[in-house]
């Protein structure tokens, strides 16, 4: 029977990502097989709970497929691992707060919560106080009349911070709760992976009945993904009916997301919706003071005031200015003063003002040797489609133009704009050549040489 167990492990190894296999399946050891029961041992209680919640069905299924018999799998904590006087296990218990990937997490995904994205590290101001209160309330209570929250904001305002803070808070107080933190794109990739690996039933089980808290980022990228929308709708039905907690984030209101099913539009809108606005001057000062204290920087008050007054677009831009000031001072071996801060801010502001949509189009056309007419044409030839998608991505990155305005400037619907941005972002994750192209064009734009 031990030989069969090794074969079962070999099959599972081919069906799931390698890092997941090594974390959860490889530590399992065959203990004994008697009658219709097969006993396996694992390092500790956390492993035992994880195996029973997520892997038992797969293991039993493979034993049945190989032997033609229905075996019951029993998982026990090995005595050696239970005895603290004996040597430490080769596979220590993971950090509960950060161990979120599961058996169907895509090879390129499986998102972990950022350690610093907690409630105590979030700066509350008039721009986000309602969103903060709603997030903390949802995270703190077990029984809620409202169990879903949609956080809305443009890029860099803190919606991801609040979403992950909910996950951290829940796992701190209820470490055995199953919390899944993914993006809409992750969900789609995971679903496709489950089809390809013949494990779709496990994927469905994970999100329908095996999830206590779902943190789903960037739902605006679901536009046009019909099959993904169908499966997500079914999963959300299960979670809502079971009164599980669901947190969505988006750059667009549900009604503004193109090609979104009515079922999802209704689900996203059925819970509490909270918008996060750009921080005011007072809040920007507090953000800088918190970052300065956390990192041990020595930044004069006039420099903090200057950064807060000039960098008002979003939190990310503000933090970028602070990092730029401290980094430049360190590299030059000089003190942080107003003159140095002005030079850093000048570059940030000049980049923003100079990099217009038209400038981006011209740089991309020249790089890929296509004309502006071809760029804006209806043609979907590969030689034109990719440069167009790159240009759209860069316009979205470097300008504050709304989707509708970007779409109009490219003679496209804003659903196409979202699709283009998603296509390039996927390429950046998976293809080194795409990263090199985007980095080269970004450097060219930021240098002002266009």
**Chosen CATH of 2-87 out of 3.40.50.880, 3.30.300.180, 3.80.10.10, 1.20.1060.10:** 3.30.300.180
Q: What pLDDT, on a 0 to 100 scale, did the predictor assign at position 217?
A: 93
CATH class of the region 119-275:
alpha beta
Segment 404-430 mean pLDDT: 88
Question: How does pLDDT run across 173-206, given as a tens digit for each residue?
Answer: 888 889 999 999 889 988 998 888 888 999 999 9
Check whether 92 has a pLDDT greater than 60.
no
N-to-C CA span, the chain: 69
Q: What is the pTM of this model?
A: 0.59
Residues with Cβ < 8 Å from 421, sequence gap 6 or more?
392, 393, 396
Check whether 154 has a pLDDT greater than 90.
no
Q: Report domain extents, the chain.
A: 2-87, 119-275, 281-354, 357-447
Q: What pLDDT, on a 0 to 100 scale, did the predictor assign at position 98?
A: 35
CATH class of the region 357-447:
mainly alpha
| Fold assignment, 281-354 | Helicase, Ruva Protein; domain 3 (1.10.8)
């Amino acid at each position: 029977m031990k030989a069969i167990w090794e074969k079962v492990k070999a099959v599972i190894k081919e069906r799931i990502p390698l890092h997941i296999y090594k974390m959860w399946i490889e530590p399992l050891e065959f203990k004994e097989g008697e009658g219709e029961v097969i006993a396996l041992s694992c390092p500790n209680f956390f492993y035992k709970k994880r195996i029973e919640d997520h892997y038992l069905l797969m293991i039993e299924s493979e034993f049945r497929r190989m032997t033609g018999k229905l075996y019951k799998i029993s998982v026990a904590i090995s005595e050696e691992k239970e005895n603290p006087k004996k040597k430490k296990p080769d596979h220590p218990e993971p950090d509960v707060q950060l161990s979120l990937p599961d058996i169907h997490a895509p090879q390129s995904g499986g998102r972990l919560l950022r350690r610093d994205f907690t409630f105590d590290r979030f700066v509350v101001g008039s721009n986000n106080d309602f969103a903060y209160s709603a997030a903390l309330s949802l995270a703190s209570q077990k029984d809620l009349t409202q169990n879903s929250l949609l956080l809305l904001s443009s890029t860099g305002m803190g919606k991801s911070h609040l979403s992950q803070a909910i996950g951290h808070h829940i796992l701190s107080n209820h470490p055995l709760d199953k919390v899944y933190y993914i993006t809409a794109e992750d969900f789609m990739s995971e679903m496709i992976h489950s089809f390809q690996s013949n494990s779709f039933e496990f994927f469905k089980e994970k999100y329908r009945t095996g999830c206590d808290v779902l943190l789903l980022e960037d739902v605006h990228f679901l536009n046009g993904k019909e099959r993904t929308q169908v499966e997500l709708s079914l999963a959300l039905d299960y979670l809502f009916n079971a009164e599980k907690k669901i947190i969505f984030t988006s750059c667009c209101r549900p009604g503004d997301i193109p090609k979104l099913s009515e079922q999802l539009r209704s689900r996203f809108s059925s819970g509490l919706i909270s918008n996060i606005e750009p921080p005011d001057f007072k809040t920007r000062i507090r953000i800088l003071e918190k970052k300065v204290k956390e990192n041990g920087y020595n930044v004069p008050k006039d420099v903090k005031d200057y950064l807060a007054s000039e960098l008002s677009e979003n939190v990310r831009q503000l933090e970028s200015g602070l990092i730029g000031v401290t980094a430049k001072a360190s590299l030059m071996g000089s003190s942080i003063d107003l003159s140095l801060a002005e030079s850093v801010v000048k570059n940030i502001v000049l980049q923003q003002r100079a990099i217009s949509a038209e400038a981006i189009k011209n740089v991309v056309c020249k790089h890929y040797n296509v004309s502006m007419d071809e760029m804006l044409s209806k043609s979907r030839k590969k030689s034109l489609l990719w440069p167009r998608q790159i240009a759209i991505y860069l316009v979205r990155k470097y300008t504050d133009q709304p989707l509708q305005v970007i779409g109009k400037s490219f003679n496209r619907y804003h659903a196409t704009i979202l699709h283009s941005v998603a296509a390039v972002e996927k390429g950046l994750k998976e293809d080194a050549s795409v990263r090199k192209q985007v980095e080269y064009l970004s450097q060219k734009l930021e240098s002002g040489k266009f």
